[in-house]
């Protein structure tokens, strides 16, 4: 079986952006630019920024209608909803260029957005209508050291794993091929090996960051320690990160398992997930999974899949013993390398519109199964939505994964106690813009309703992970209040002009 048959993807037609034909001079002169849904006027501040950028950087600036504009504003985005029409795109080739651009953007008071791998899936999180898009794709160099790797924000995780394979080492990053390094690392980072090494953010030893006034700072445990802490989960609230230095670990081989189950065995599947979340060993074998349930509202067919990865070569992989007991329609175990495994787990861009929604709870398998049943019944209610592609995803949070931050002398902004948790996420794909509001309302109401039942039962956690959240969710409400206050103080210290709250408003913002 090909992994792509299991991964939550849909063979949709790519969306063709029919946008813009404004030239550099037209944008600079204050023209309207055409977008797929109408026209928009470029503001004085945006004209100021685009004009100054092109004067200073020439070929690193792209205007609507020019070659590569569509590649930067459409083809680089995972979700069709994220395609927007910036007045100009800046593609810096050095950190100094990012610093120069931030000075210009700040002095012009122009709205802007920043894109790394382009996987955050809602409009405005990583793209912008009318403003400046800072696209980091050209900052894609890396340097491998003995037990760290320096990576630019233009790389995706497959490229990082590939760079490390000749050295028999692995970093803690994304589980699918084309997810970007920067977005995932700045929000936390669920990887297969969280149970042993913590989250991607816990494995960053240094951030090179350009602040809103164009100053370049290197934040480490010893230097700018407050900013170093705030970047561990603080998302895009502090600056543009131009280099991450990540810890690496000796992982020459991994053992993988692909398992699928029919609906009869969903209670056992969910129970095995809950038991896995509770495992709390002092020195665990690194292992984790992607766990997904798919339901087709037309055929009424449901199936669950486990994509598991464990460090080392051990067939069958010992850490999935609970799953191996469940009768499976397919079970394939293999010994391979991290880059070969992740090469197969593509998440192609521009396939569909997607709404994420999730909540977190204590791992209670009976309740989780009832959430599955409620979700399936609710999916039937929207079965007429064109191109509907609903999946339910489970992500475990093990106590050992949280203990890493508690014991490394740094911590992170999540501030979670080392107790087992389970994230239940609805990922809903659909085809047409006219269904955007309907799918969002459906997903939100269902999620909030089921969470309120968990709150009544005392099973709910208020933790919200930015990578699994819908745009209607506020992850900062789930962080300890003292952490949020400290994050705000650090933001004030490093971004006096409010560049990353006023001018870059997309993504998950800290608020005031």
Binding segment (CB under 6 A) for ligand FAD, from list 17-25, 119-127, 476-484, 490-498? 119-127
Closer by beta carbon to ligand FAD, 213 or else 370: 213
Question: Token pair of 1, please?
Answer: 């079986």
Binding segment (CB under 6 A) for ligand FAD, from list 177-185, 265-273, 301-309, 368-376? 177-185
Strand pairing category for 88-90 and 132-135: parallel
- Kindly state whether residue 183 participates in binding ligand FAD, applying the rule CB under 6 A: yes
In degrees, to the nearest 5, what angle opens at C-alpha 317 toward C-alphas 311 and 321? 130
CB of 188 to ligand FAD, least distance (A): 6
Closer by beta carbon to ligand FAD, 70 or else 268: 70
Which of 86, 131, 180, 288 contacts ligand FAD by CB under 6 A? Answer: 180
Q: How far apart are the first and last CA of the chain?
A: 49
Closer by beta carbon to ligand FAD, 100 or else 188: 188
- Kindly state whether residue 136 participates in binding ligand FAD, applying the rule CB under 6 A: yes
Binding segment (CB under 6 A) for ligand FAD, from list 100-108, 116-124, 248-256, 334-342? 116-124
CA-CA distance, 40 to 116, in Å (whole number)?
25
- Kindly state whether residue 120 participates in binding ligand FAD, applying the rule CB under 6 A: yes
CB of 427 to ligand FAD, least distance (A): 8
Binding segment (CB under 6 A) for ligand FAD, from list 50-58, 158-166, 233-241, 248-256? 233-241
Buried b (16+ CB within 10 A) or exposed e, 277-288: bebeeeebbbbb
CA-CA distance, 108 to 238, in Å (whole number)?
19
CB of 484 to ligand FAD, least distance (A): 18
Closer by beta carbon to ligand FAD, 86 or else 116: 116
CA-CA distance, 50 to 42, in Å (whole number)?
10
Which of 27, 52, 160, 184 contacts ligand FAD by CB under 6 A? Answer: 184
CA 427 to mean position of chain CA atoms:
13
CA-CA distance, 172 to 148, in Å (whole number)?
11
Asked whether the beta carbons of 124 and 113 are under 8 A apart, the reply is yes
In degrees, to the nearest 5, what angle opens at C-alpha 276 toward C-alphas 272 and 282? 155
Site track for ligand FAD across 138-157, x = CB under 6 A: ---------------x----
Binding segment (CB under 6 A) for ligand FAD, from list 26-34, 108-116, 258-266, 490-498? 108-116
Closer by beta carbon to ligand FAD, 181 or else 446: 181
Largest CA distance in the chain: 68
- Kindly state whether residue 117 participates in binding ligand FAD, applying the rule CB under 6 A: yes
Binding segment (CB under 6 A) for ligand FAD, from list 161-169, 234-242, 450-458, 491-499? 234-242
Hey, which residues does 245 pair with through a beta bridge?
150, 206
Asked whether the beta carbons of 101 and 60 are under 8 A apart, the reply is no
- Kindly state whether residue 400 participates in binding ligand FAD, applying the rule CB under 6 A: no
Q: What is residue 95's three-state secondary structure?
A: helix
- Rounded to 5 degrees, what are φ and ψ at 104? -65, -50
- Kindly state whether residue 475 participates in binding ligand FAD, applying the rule CB under 6 A: no
CA-CA distance, 35 to 21, in Å (whole number)?
9
Locate tokens 């010992």: which residue?
A: 318
Neighbours of 55 (CB within 10 A): 11
Which of 28, 85, 121, 305 contacts ligand FAD by CB under 6 A? Answer: 121
Closer by beta carbon to ligand FAD, 78 or else 463: 78
Q: Hey, which residues between 56 and 85 contact ligand FAD (CB under 6 A)?
A: 78
Which of 347, 391, 400, 483 contacts ligand FAD by CB under 6 A? Answer: 347
Alpha helical stretches, state H, 122-279: 157-164, 181-187, 194-197, 225-230, 266-278
Which of 130, 182, 214, 390 contacts ligand FAD by CB under 6 A? Answer: 182
Closer by beta carbon to ligand FAD, 24 or else 179: 179
- Kindly state whether residue 123 participates in binding ligand FAD, applying the rule CB under 6 A: no
Rg of the chain's alpha carbons, rounded to an integer? 22
HSE-CB for 171 with a 13 A CA cutoff: 34
Closer by beta carbon to ligand FAD, 6 or else 24: 6
Hey, which residues does 282 pair with through a beta bridge?
none
- Kindly state whether residue 390 participates in binding ligand FAD, applying the rule CB under 6 A: no
Interface residues with ligand FAD (CB under 6 A)? Answer: 78, 113-121, 125-126, 136, 153, 174-176, 179-180, 182-184, 186-190, 236, 240-241, 347, 467, 506-507
């Amino acid at each position: 079986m090909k992994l792509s048959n299991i991964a939550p993807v849909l063979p949709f037609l790519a969306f063709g952006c029919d946008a813009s034909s404004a030239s550099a001079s037209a944008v600079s002169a204050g023209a309207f630019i055409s977008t797929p849904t109408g026209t928009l006027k470029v503001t004085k501040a945006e004209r100021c920024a685009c004009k100054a950028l092109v004067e200073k950087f020439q070929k690193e600036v792209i205007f609507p209608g020019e070659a590569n504009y569509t590649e930067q504003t459409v083809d680089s985005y995972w979700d069709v909803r994220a395609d927007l029409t910036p007045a100009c795109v800046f593609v810096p080739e050095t950190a100094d260029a990012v610093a120069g651009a931030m000075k210009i953007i700040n002095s012009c008071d122009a709205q802007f957005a920043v894109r790394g791998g382009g996987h955050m899936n809602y409009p405005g999180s990583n793209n912008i209508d009318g403003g400046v898009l800072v696209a980091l794709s050209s900052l894609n160099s890396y340097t491998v050291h003995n037990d760290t790797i320096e990576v630019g924000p233009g790389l995706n995780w497959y490229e990082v794993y590939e760079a490390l394979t000749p050295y028999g080492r692995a970093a803690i990053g994304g589980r699918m091929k084309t997810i970007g390094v920067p977005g995932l690392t700045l929000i936390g980072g669920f990887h297969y090996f969280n149970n042993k090494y913590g989250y991607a953010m816990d494995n960053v030893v240094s951030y090179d960051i350009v602040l809103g006034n164009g100053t370049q700072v290197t934040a480490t445990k010893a230097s700018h320690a407050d900013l170093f802490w705030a970047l561990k989960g603080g998302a895009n609230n502090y600056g543009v990160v131009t280099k991450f230095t990540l810890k690496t670990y000796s992982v020459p081989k991994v053992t993988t398992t692909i398992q699928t189950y029919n609906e009869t065995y969903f209670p056992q599947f969910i129970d095995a997930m809950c038991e896995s979340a509770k495992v709390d060993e002092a020195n665990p074998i690194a292992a984790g999974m992607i766990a997904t349930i798919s339901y087709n509202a037309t055929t009424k067919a449901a199936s669950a899949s486990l994509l598991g990865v464990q460090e080392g070569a051990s067939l069958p992989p010992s850490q999935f013993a609970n799953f191996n007991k469940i009768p499976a329609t397919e079970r394939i175990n293999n010994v391979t390398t991290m880059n070969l495994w992740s090469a197969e787990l593509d998440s192609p861009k521009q396939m569909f519109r997607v709404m994420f929604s999730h909540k977190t709870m204590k791992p209670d398998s009976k309740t989780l199964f009832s959430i599955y049943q409620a979700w399936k019944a609710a999916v039937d209610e929207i079965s007429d939505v064109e191109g509907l592609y609903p999946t339910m995803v489970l992500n475990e949070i093990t106590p050992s994964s949280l203990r890493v931050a508690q014991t490394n002398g740094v911590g992170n902004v999540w501030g979670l106690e080392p107790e087992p948790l389970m994230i239940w996420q609805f990922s809903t794909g659909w085809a047409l813009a006219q269904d955007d509001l309907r799918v969002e309302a459906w997903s939100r109401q269902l999620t909030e309703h089921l969470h309120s039942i968990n709150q009544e039962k005392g099973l709910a956690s208020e933790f919200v992970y930015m990578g699994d959240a819908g745009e209607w969710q506020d992850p900062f409400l789930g962080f300890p209040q003292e952490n949020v206050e400290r994050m705000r103080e650090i933001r004030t210290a490093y971004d006096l002009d409010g560049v990353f709250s006023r001018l870059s408003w997309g993504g998950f913002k800290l608020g005031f």
